[in-house]
Amino acid sequence: MNFKQFFEQWNSEENTLFKIQSSGSTGTPKEIVLEKKWMIWSAKQTIQTLELKNEKILCCLSLQSVGGLMMLARAAYLHCEIMVLEPSIQPFKLLKPKHDFTFVSLTPLQLHNILDDKDEVEKLTLFKNVLIGGASLSLELEERLQDFKNTFWHSYGMSETYSHIALRKINGENKQSRFYPFKDVGIFKEEDGSLTIGVPFYKHLLHTNDLIEHREDNSFLILGRKDFIINSGGLKINPEELEQKITRLGILVENTFVISSMPDKLLGQKLVLVHTIPKLERNWLLEELRISFKPAFIPKEIVYFNQLPYTQSGKISRNEIKELLSLQQ
């Protein structure tokens, strides 16, 4: 679907259906059908939370994804101007230095590349609100946003929930460390620690593989994914949590490595650290890890990749990494 096709369908009198593909970060992408009336519901929640009005919107996301499609829906609901750029990991390259856009949505990968370019940072400061979604946000990246005067929001959701169903403000006054769901959204923690969501557009509950910490005020933290858990020698290891600890200790930099696994006759699964650092000293890395972690959390293999595979929405494709590792066995 392109820009013109979207607005032709949106402006029709019918309750138009829009088809997209899920991100495929944890499995095969699947087709998802979105209803216009619930896209309006979702758009209104975001608009009210961010207090959007008289906006000029920039869309840097694929229109084949829920993130890009919902940026068009928000513009349609607000009757405001929107410009769509070709999706890129360097989304501001074609943007004028003194632009007048007020609202943009970015993936963490796009944001990371923007922050590494002084000219792109200047463009970023001109937006009033910046929505970050599609993947988890590292502590290092979040810390780099604290001195900005404009407001950054981290979102939680999925294709099936018409983009995000919860937001947290990550800088400025009243910043939040936890996600707060929209009105009419139910948040439930299952016995295994995973998140179940209740939304008004489905009669059934949506069960996720995201592990959460949940409070009585309905706010929550994402701890990682249940299907990413690595069972090594009977010990269940959360790779995302381990990655955060390695980054926080300054041993490796985010986006340059990922914790994965390979089948192992003795352990069942053995930890593998996949990295993109050409001259990484293996012995130095192992020594640094031994200082801070127990033996069970030390990778048994260290593998170099030219680059890490990402999905279209900016998430690391852990399934693809496992497939690539299996070819090396």
Residue 15 and residue 175 in contact, taking contact as beta carbons nearer than 8 Å: no
Q: Tell me which residue of 143, 150, 98, 105 sits closest to 119, measured CA to CA.
A: 98
- Mean residue pLDDT of the chain comes to 92
pLDDT at 3 over 90: no
Q: Tell me which residue of 140, 124, 138, 197 sits closest to 163, measured CA to CA.
A: 197
Residue with tokens 């937001």: 167
pLDDT at 18 over 70: yes
Cα separation, 291 vs 84, in Å, equals 48
pLDDT of res. 29: 66
pLDDT of res. 327: 80
Cα separation, 219 vs 325, in Å, equals 37
The DSSP 8-state label assigned to residue 251 in this structure reads S
Q: Tell me which residue of 128, 163, 145 sits closest to 54, measured CA to CA.
A: 128
Name the percent of the chain lying above pLDDT 90: 75
Q: Cβ–Cβ contacts within 10 Å for residue 215, how many?
A: 12
What 3-state DSSP class applies to 28? coil
The string of pLDDT tens digits covering residues 50-82 is 999 999 999 999 998 899 999 999 999 999 999
pLDDT of res. 73: 97
pLDDT of res. 24: 55
pLDDT at 137 over 80: yes
Are 3-183 and 229-326 the same fold in CATH?
no
Residue 143 and residue 121 in contact, taking contact as beta carbons nearer than 8 Å: no
pLDDT at 155 over 60: yes
Q: Which residues contact 13 (CB under 8 A, 6 or more apart)?
A: none
Band of pLDDT at residue 28, cut at 50, 70 and 90: low
Name the percent of the chain lying above pLDDT 70: 96
pLDDT of res. 130: 98
Q: Which tokens is 321 given?
A: 């990494």
Residue 257 and residue 276 in contact, taking contact as beta carbons nearer than 8 Å: yes
pLDDT of res. 30: 75
Q: Which tokens is 283 given?
A: 């012995």
Residue 301 and residue 263 in contact, taking contact as beta carbons nearer than 8 Å: no
The string of pLDDT tens digits covering residues 39-49 is 999 999 999 99
Q: What is the DSSP string of 90-115?
A: STTTTS-TT----EEEE-HHHHHHHH
Which has more pLDDT, 135 or 279?
279
pTM of the model: 0.81
Determine the CATH number of domain 3-183: 3.40.50.12780
Average pLDDT over residues 308-315: 78
Cα separation, 328 vs 324, in Å, equals 7
Instruction: Give me the CATH topology for the region 229-326.
Output: GMP Synthetase; Chain A, domain 3 (3.30.300)
Average pLDDT over residues 177-202: 95
Domain boundary assignment for the chain: 3-183, 229-326
pLDDT at 23 over 70: no
Cα separation, 111 vs 105, in Å, equals 10
